[in-house]
Chain A
Amino acid sequence: MDIAQARKERIDRGIKVRSDGLYALMSLKELSYLTLPRFLLIAGMLSLPFLMPGMYWQRVISIVCIYSLLALSFDFLAHYVGLVCLGGAFFIGMGGYIAGILNTYFGLPPVLTIPLATIIGGALSTFLLLPCLPLKGVYFAIVTLMYPLFMARIIEAFDIFGGTDGIIGIDSFSNHWVEQYVVIGVVLGFVFGLRRLVNMDIGLIFTAIMDNDQAVKASGINITLYRALAVFIASSMGCLGGACITHIYMWSGISQFALDFSILPIAATVIGGAGTLVGPVLGCLILVPVSELLRDFGTLRIVFYAVILVAFILFKSEGIMEFVQRKYEQFERWTKI
């Protein structure tokens, strides 16, 4: 707790200030300053399937993307709508089972089952979560945590949809390139789509509901409706991920309701940078491969996650993305007080 004699100033880089204005359209340098990070993300994601050695790691990339979808939906709900959602497993399970049912019982191809599972799963999840939407506080988190357990036990107890064996014999994607580019495209689409959404009027309402729901109500806005809309967006993303996972593994079963799907996205969001909507994807890109590398250690992997999570919260709770963004936009220098 020393008392400073000099302090480090943080000052925006000149190029950042210039590229905020019209100047960005007139100079290639400023233009590339703005587009380079976005280009890096898009190009990096698109080239990932080529860079991976062998089928096993290409499959890992698909899983990374599915976790990214969950992490994005968590980040969106937690930091732009103010709902802490522990329901990753619930959404994956809903989407997975709906896609499986549509494919095996009704014979629809993946081209139809995935969009249908997204919409129907999102709507069903929103409907089931509706009762706790007008409430403030911890209820939403508790209910979303309980539903996957509830669903898994119901399927097990009534022996429906294949019971503990799950639904087998589901169609796969036509080949692994299609599989990977579908999930990568979906993730990129949602990253940029959500970043746009939160800056639009509706995003403003979401953020306002998070800050002070009573004041929003007083402005004549039905907050339950908007919360339901936000939950629909987020749960659709999760269900989309679930539908993809079902077609990737050609199987849907109660392990899709496993709590891993709820916990890992949260860890990824913390590591990547909460509230940035890109950070969660970066977090998944780090955490999921690491967890694959640690597969030999079995359930000790969880210990490893926990250590990473605690370390990040203690030492760098802003997350990677915030840190990198600050370094990119600002420089520091010492000044005497």
Chain B
Amino acid sequence: MLEANELMVFYENMLALNNISIQCSENSIVGVFGANSAGKSTLMYALSGIMLDIRKKEEMAGGERITISGDIRFHDQDITSLKPSLRAKSGIILCPERRRIFKESTVLENLKIGGFLATKAQAKDTLEYILHVFPALKRLKSRIGGFLSGGEQQMLAIGRALMAQPKLLLLDEPLLGLSPLMQATLIKATKAIQKEKKISIIVSEQYARPVFPIVDYAYILENGAAVMEGTRQELMDNPDVKSAYFGV
């Protein structure tokens, strides 16, 4: 479904992504694990096209020069130089790190903005579906987004991404700063969404343990390079992974 080959991103002279090739097949959950500054968010930005936007802004302000090389294919189409808005139209939706919900708007308004690309019927169905997956949002509908707790905001952010009718959902650190209980709820919901909506999900996370049970395939990033990859079972059996990412 999505295929990125030899992706490289430079921030000025710093290499943020070093020759990464990743694949995501239909109806699967792919995990991307790595420590801070391993390149997870850069990878997400590169896949969703936001990187092109950042590059443009930096170029205009005379800031860091960002260089992108490699190619990204989605449904056998080359999308390497496609604008982020067009990528979203074709079905790649990013749910950004630190949620980035619209703080001044209510929960319902947040979801409506997310549904800009959807038809009326789709938006209505998806809204019902979101309230079904995240029942906690039901009683918060008219609450201002900025006043929600971290977990509720994350639910809202995922909901907003779903409203855009994704075929491939990119979840960037969805568990950031959440309690173990909330983490478990979100992971369960993520799995349910993947199954019921029949979409693919790429999820990045620092700490692999809570996410690991639901991924089909995973990549481990270190200093911008993919040092290891494999199916869940392959990685589980690897002693290095065990000690580094599960603390066993």
Interface residues of A (CB under 8 A from B): 1-5, 7-11, 314, 316-319, 322-323, 326, 337
Contact = CB atoms under 8 A, between A and B. Distances in A.
Nearest to A313: B60
Given A3-B71, A319-B62, 4 more contacts: A2-B81, A3-B70, A11-B13, A318-B63
User: Which of A3, A4, A318 has the most B CB atoms < 10 Å from its CB?
Assistant: A3
Interface string B54-98: 000000111101011111000000001111000000000000000
B134 interface: no
A4 B67 contact: yes
Contact of B13 (A5, A9, A323): A9
Contacts of B16: none
Contacts of B71: 3
A320 B96 CA distance: 35
Given A317-B61, A317-B62, A318-B62, A3 B13 contact: no
Nearest to B71: A3
Contacts of B60: 314, 317
Interface in B19-52: 52
Contact of A7 (B10, B62, B70, B80): B10
A1 B87 CA distance: 14
Contact of A10 (B8, B65, B81, B82): B65
B240 interface: no
A85 B82 CA distance: 40
A297 B157 CA distance: 55
A168 to B, nearest CB: 48
Given A10-B12, A11-B13, A5 B69 contact: yes
A271 to B, nearest CB: 13
B68 A3 contact: yes
Given A11-B13, A337-B67, A3 B61 contact: no
A319 B62 CA distance: 9
A1 B8 contact: no
Name the residue in A4, A316, A319, A326 with the highest tally of chain B Cβ atoms < 10 Å from its Cβ.
A4
Contact of B8 (A2, A8, A318, A337): A337
A160 B63 CA distance: 51
Given A7-B10, A9-B13, A337-B67, A1 B81 contact: yes
Given A5-B69, A337-B8, A322 B62 contact: yes
Nearest to B19: A337
26 contacts: A1-B52, A1-B83, A2-B81, A3-B69, A3-B71, A3-B80, A3-B81, A4-B67, A4-B68, A4-B69, A5-B69, A7-B67, A8-B65, A9-B13, A10-B12, A10-B65, A314-B60, A317-B61, A318-B61, A318-B63, A322-B62, A323-B62, A337-B8, A337-B10, A337-B67, A337-B69
